[in-house]
Structure 1
Amino acid sequence: MPAHPPLGRPVFEPADRIPDLAALRDSVQRRDWDAVAASFEALADEDDRAVACRVVAEKRSCEGFLQQVAQARPRDPLVRSLLADRLIQIGWGIRSAYRAQHVSQQQFQDFHAYLRRAELLLIDVCAEYPAYALAWYLRTITSRGLELGLGETRRRYDRLAEHHPHHYSGQQQLLQQLCPKWGGTWEAAHGFAEECAKASPPGSPNGALVAIAQVEQYLELAEKGGTRPAETYLREPENHARLREAAEHSVFHPDFRADSFMAVSAHSAFAAAHCAAGRHAEAAPHFRALGDRADAFLWGYIGSGRPETEFVQHRKTALRKG
């Protein structure tokens, strides 16, 4: 994905900026299973497959199509995983993104019912195909949503990591579980993020986990005491140094794959962390790499909480300063 000057509004939806994912979305719309399967077959990178899985799962009303294919192909791990993710997305939509105290009992009941349906599909896939990355990745999400605890989510991630040790999407999910809002601690969250970043091959996106962990703590501090203590935390020299080191190992390394589906997620995370800290000049290289592409995640944590507004405003400031 070559860098280009910003043209306008950010494009958050992967299928709107990646032609292969646009074609996949069209295949789902046409209910063409052979074309859907071929799209996944063409993706060798498991993180790219995770992004493609989510593109399918976010397609409204596709569950009927996936259920029909699953009935016709009961041993196919892909269709069962895609259907499971669609059920997860429906359930999470019912739950909403609010903290638990703002979610009703009925919402939780319906949310868990969808996740349990997804679990039944994924348990079978994992039993039949123990190395199947998509299923184990999705089970880290269902574990967190069903409140099975850190130990169980970690067990599922460890099974994923046995065969796919640097699965960035799976690491993002475990990182969420390790944050205090899901029962973890900041020490555990930052420790895991840095461990994954340092252990990953040079040029991989995993270094962005360091940025994600920092912005997660920034959000908690901002909610409790306002933006000033949150910004002070991000500006601490050791946190700044960790962020820069992680970026040099990942998105700024010569081996970084700018054409990977995760490139936008990684650059977007680093840009958000620097902007939240007020280091707009350091965010500028990330914005230049992004152009109009962006990941909405984290931008909703900053300022107004409106991802598009925050991305555009911070991009303008960053490119002016850096």
Structure 2
Amino acid sequence: MSSTYRTTGTVKGPPRLDPYDLHPEMAELRTLVTARDWPGVQAFFDARSQTDQTYAASLVSEMPGAETFLADAAARHPAAPLPRTLLAYRQVVIGWGIRSAARAQHVSRDQFRQFHDWLRRAEQQLIDVCAEQPGFPLAWYVRLITARGLELGQSEARRRYDRLAAVAPHHFAGQSQLLQQLCPKWGGSWELAHGFARECAAAAPNGSNCAVLVADAHIEHWLDLPSPEDQAYMRGVPVRDDLRFAAEVSVWHPDHRPDTRWTAAHNTFAMAFSVGGHLRDAARHFAVLGDRADPSSWKYLGDDARAVFAKHRKAALAAR
């Protein structure tokens, strides 16, 4: 059975960014956290796939004030790995918010101090979870984020990824975190980053989202280049062909099954093709997305993700 997508709204409608609007099945989770219903939250996660659990955890981590509820749940259920892991994830997001997404030279000493304090709190909890429940993938995933933030180095990040991959092969979110670590800005190299992305794409089952890493690596490389080298890079035939291959073996493959990652995956390809001027390629992804925009894919092109998405969607669809 080939993958299918249902477009809610028109391909010319106002872009939608709200994750609970794009994935309405996640609205229940927000209600449960707001109501401080831990048994309900645990049941919600237990009923989801690994991919959807990771996405759900990211939503909880972004909920202001959730840390008090999660700390209480962790205290009430000391043997359960989920509340401690979600609490750690929330602490990581708080810390990263203080640090900001700026390059290190633009982050103050006090920002770094607070950032590291929050990450160390998270890390201590995650160490305990991983020691008690080494087969719990979500904890290893979050530890990839703390490894990068605490600057523990390439070897330690790779060790944590290997532990994750041992229990959850082709864990796309975990691979995305290691890809960041392998970029030059975090002590890696473009050879390592592109090599890892291609390795993950080649090893993954057909239709997996893992090949999206190929596009992510090219986007990161593009961001690191000065103008006009950046534009020439994305317009190059090798990058275009890499993107086409990655799209064909992932979101366009007959075995692809839409999940909570599908909108982000298509947005990533749409953005990469658009930046490279490959508008007909981008149009295929926009046609499937309709009005579903993912801010993480468009933030590099302007502060107003809706306007940027709409602008590039219009240009791509006009080129069909």
Q: Name the TM tier (shorter chain).
A: over 0.9
| Aligned mates of 1:305, 1:101 — CA distance in 2 | 22
1:305 positional shift: 4.6
TM-score normalized with structure 1 length: 0.95
1:16 positional shift: 2.5
* Contact residue 212 and residue 298 of structure 1 kept, 8 A: no
Which 5+ residue runs of structure 2 have no aligned equivalent? none
Question: Which one of 91, 96, 100 corresponds to residue 96 of structure 1?
Answer: 100
* Pairing 1:20–2:55 present: no
Match of 1:87 in 2: 91
Match of 1:50, SS? helix
TM-score normalized with structure 2 length: 0.95
Higher normalized contact order (CA 8 Å, seq sep 6+, divided by chain length): 2
Match of 1:298, SS? helix
Match of 2:233 in 1: 233
| Aligned mates of 2:286, 2:124 — CA distance in 1 | 41
* Contact residue 215 and residue 298 of structure 1 kept, 8 A: no
Which 5+ residue runs of structure 1 have no aligned equivalent? none
Q: Which 4+ stretches in 1 moved above 6 angstroms?
A: none
* Contact residue 296 and residue 307 of structure 1 kept, 8 A: yes
Q: Counterparts in 2 of 1:1-322, with a 5 A limit?
A: 1-4=5-8, 5-6=10-11, 8-44=13-49, 46-221=50-225, 225-226=226-227, 228-258=228-258, 260-302=259-301, 304-322=302-320
1:51 positional shift: 0.5
1:310 positional shift: 1.5
The worse-fitting range, judged by mean Cα deviation, of 235-244 and 129-138 is 235-244
Q: Give the counterpart letter for 1:47 in structure 2.
A: T
Match of 2:295, SS? coil
Post-superposition CA distance 1:288-316 (Å, at most 9, x none): 221222221231123x3542221111011
Q: Give the counterpart letter for 2:22 in structure 1.
A: R
* Contact residue 240 and residue 276 of structure 2 kept, 8 A: no
Match of 2:296, SS? coil
Count of paired positions: 315
Aligned-residue sequence identity (percent) comes to 51
1:24 positional shift: 0.4
Q: Give the counterpart letter for 2:62 in structure 1.
A: E
